[in-house]
Structure 1
């Protein structure tokens, strides 16, 4: 399956994610994304730093939020491989695998838990198959 197919079918196709991107775990390239959902190079590096817990990146994320596709989201939780953040009634779930970082955005009508479960499930699958 192509990376774009994972975005279109597994994430957006679930009905729980309205926009998504898959970027490299190094934060240096976008492998696939929804139309108009662009994670900038600076945003990628910030996500990598937060997930790698380098320096004060986690504290800074909690204080200043995380930026994805030009929007600021308030961090609700950061775990070893995941970042969860909200902006009003929308939000993002960011999950790292061995080689990729999945970024899923959910809209107002979606339960955050369903969106998170969708992104986490794809991450678990990718890890299981070596990515």
Structure 2
């Protein structure tokens, strides 16, 4: 399965995310993305740095203070865990999970339950980790 298939079928195709992308764990390249998800290189690098070991770290602290920027939009951080970041902008939210080689980023609309969106991202992350990705 291609990386784009994961975005189209497993993430956005779940109905729980309206936009998604998969990037390298270093945050230096986009492997696949929704056509309307315009993430910027600096935004991706900030996410990768916030998830570096051990997370949270100085980059995560900066993100808590200044917010998570994605697609030119600012989101308020809800929490950062070892491999995951959760942020919101009102009822709209972002769920992010790191695997061995990739970072999955999902955006959900205000009509989606946060738990469903985060479960979609975390489940695919678990699957990829199990398969050495």
C-alpha displacement at 1:63, in angstroms?
A: 1.2
Aligned residues: 131
C-alpha displacement at 1:82, in angstroms?
A: 0.3
Q: Distance in 2 between matches of 1:120 and 1:96?
A: 9
CA pair 118-55 structure 1, distance change in 2 beyond 3 A: closer
Is the 1:17–1:104 Cα contact (8 Å) retained in structure 2?
yes
RMSD of aligned C-alpha atoms? 1.1
Task: Tell me which residue corresponds to 1:103.
Answer: 105
Q: Distance in 1 between matches of 2:78 and 2:131?
A: 29
Residues 42-81 of structure 1 aligned to structure 2 (within 5 Å): 42-52=42-52, 53=55, 56-81=58-83
Shift >4 Å, 4+ stretches: none
Q: Distance in 2 between matches of 1:24 and 1:39?
A: 13
Is the 1:21–1:38 Cα contact (8 Å) retained in structure 2?
no
Is the 2:56–2:82 Cα contact (8 Å) retained in structure 1?
no
SS at match of 1:13: helix
Q: Distance in 2 between matches of 1:10 and 1:55?
A: 30
C-alpha displacement at 1:102, in angstroms?
A: 0.2
Q: Distance in 2 between matches of 1:108 and 1:16?
A: 11
Task: Tell me which residue corresponds to 2:126.
Answer: 124
Task: Tell me which residue corresponds to 2:38.
Answer: 38
C-alpha displacement at 1:54, in angstroms?
A: 7.6
Range with greater deviation from structure 2 (53-62 or 38-47): 53-62
Task: Tell me which residue corresponds to 1:82.
Answer: 84
C-alpha displacement at 1:40, in angstroms?
A: 1.1
